[in-house]
């Protein structure tokens, strides 16, 4: 394990140090004293494991292409922005626009997530990005989703706490959202509808949640046995007629 003291080091220098370590073949890198440095993990192609102590800055793992990042703190905004491959595990909560334009890999957040999570995720054949959040989400969850999987679990939800925000799946035209719990229909975006799970959904959930629960040492049976619903777009071309009246 290669260790970097990150406190007070500007993001550009810290990322250089990280890339140098990965380039010379370090397999595991630990960053301690991180606070607010951006873009950590970007531009590294190897499967290096990066452990972060302290709150990483915005765009953690943006354009990520292989590394596995574990954060033992909260995350900020735009985690996994346009991520391609690899995995980001955050043991705390995270901010807005998580998984923005993501096209592959996995993001697992243990706590709550903010606004516009999963915005414009996409998929291609076997390349299917997955975002799972353990708590609640703000408005616009899955906004403009074009592919991929977004799962929201609502674990440790307080009484009266809402699982999702408003405008759920607004503009969604691909991919799937799974919610562990119910949703007030008035929060649904116009482009999505609620469906029961098919056997292939159940299978997919088994797989995704086993891995998620393992990452956070959660009781899988307990997480899995609650009722899930599925949200998918009702049209693949929601704007097909927008400018054609």
Partner 1 sequence: MEKFYIPSGCAISGIISRQGRKMSGEVIVKSIAAMHDRSNGLGGGFAAYGIYPQYADHYAFHVIFDSKQAREETDAFLRENFQVDESQPIPVRHTPAIEDPPLLWRYFLRVDPRVLEVNGQQVDEHDYVVSRVTLINDRIPGAYVASSGKNMGAFKGVGYPEDLGYFYRLEEYEGYLWTAHGRFPTNTPGWWGGAHPFTLLEWSVVHNGEISSYGINKRYLEMFGYRCTLQTDTEVVAYLFDLLERRHHLPVEIACMALSAPFWKDVERMEPAKRELATAVRQVYGSGMLNGPFSLIIGSARRMVGFNDRIKLRPMVCATKDDLVIMASEECAIWEVCTPDKVWAPRAGEPVIAELEAGVVA
Nearest distance from C-beta of residue 226 to partner 1, angstroms: 24
User: What are 167's two structure tokens?
Assistant: 């405008």
> Does 38 engage in binding with partner 1 (CB under 8 A)?
yes
Positions 162 through 221 that interact with partner 1 (CB under 8 A): 165-167, 186
Q: Among residues 52, 98, 140, 213, which is the contact residue for partner 1, using CB under 8 A?
A: 140
Residues 6+ apart with CB under 8 A from 85: 64, 65, 66, 104, 105
* Region of 24-32, 82-90, 138-146, 224-232 interacting with partner 1 (CB under 8 A): 138-146
- Closest approach, Cβ 234 to partner 1, in A, equals 20
Report the chain's terminal Cα–Cα distance, integer Å. 61
Per CB under 8 A, the list member of 4, 6, 11, 79 interacting with partner 1 is 11
| Contact present, 64 and 98 (Cβ < 8 Å) | no
CB of 93 to partner 1, least distance (A): 8
Task: Determine contact, residues 56/77, Cβ cutoff 8 Å.
Answer: no
Nearest to partner 1 of 111, 233 (CB atom): 111
Interface residue with partner 1 among 16, 23, 28, 35 (CB under 8 A) is 35
What's the token pair of residue 73? Answer: 């703190």
Q: Which stretch binds partner 1 (CB under 8 A): 79-87, 133-141, 205-213, 227-235?
A: 133-141
Position 74 contacts partner 1 (CB under 8 A): yes
Q: Is 112 in the site for partner 1 (CB under 8 A)?
A: yes
Q: Which is nearer to partner 1, 140 or 178 (CB)?
A: 140
Non-local (6+) Cβ contacts of 158 within 8 A are none
Query: Would you tell me which residues interact with partner 1 (CB under 8 A)?
Result: 11, 35-36, 38, 54-55, 57-58, 74, 76-77, 93, 95-96, 112, 114-115, 138-140, 165-167, 186
């Amino acid at each position: 394990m290669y260790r970097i003291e990150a406190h007070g080091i500007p993001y550009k220098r810290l990322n250089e140090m990280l890339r140098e370590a990965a380039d010379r073949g370090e397999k595991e890198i630990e960053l301690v004293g991180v606070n607010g440095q951006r873009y950590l993990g970007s531009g590294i192609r190897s499967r290096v494991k990066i452990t972060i102590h302290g709150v990483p800055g915005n765009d953690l793992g943006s354009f990520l292409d292989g590394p596995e990042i574990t954060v033992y703190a909260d995350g900020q905004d735009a985690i996994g922005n346009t991520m391609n491959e690899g995995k980001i595990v955050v043991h705390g909560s995270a901010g807005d626009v998580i998984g923005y334009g993501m096209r592959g890999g996995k993001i697992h957040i243990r706590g709550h997530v903010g606004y516009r999570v999963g915005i414009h995720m996409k998929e291609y054949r076997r390349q299917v990005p997955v975002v799972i959040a353990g708590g609640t989400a703000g408005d616009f969850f899955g906004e403009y989703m074009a592919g991929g999987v977004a799962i929201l679990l609502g674990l440790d939800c307080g009484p009266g706490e809402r699982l999702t925000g408003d405008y759920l799946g607004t503009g969604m035209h691909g991919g799937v959202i799974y919610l562990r719990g119910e949703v007030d229909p008035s929060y649904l975006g116009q482009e999505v509808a609620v469906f029961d799970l098919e056997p292939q959904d159940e299978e997919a959930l088994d797989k995704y949640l086993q891995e998620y629960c393992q990452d956070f040492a959660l009781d899988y049976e307990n997480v899995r046995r609650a009722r899930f619903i599925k949200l998918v777009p009702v049209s693949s071309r929601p704007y097909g007629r927008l400018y054609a009246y």
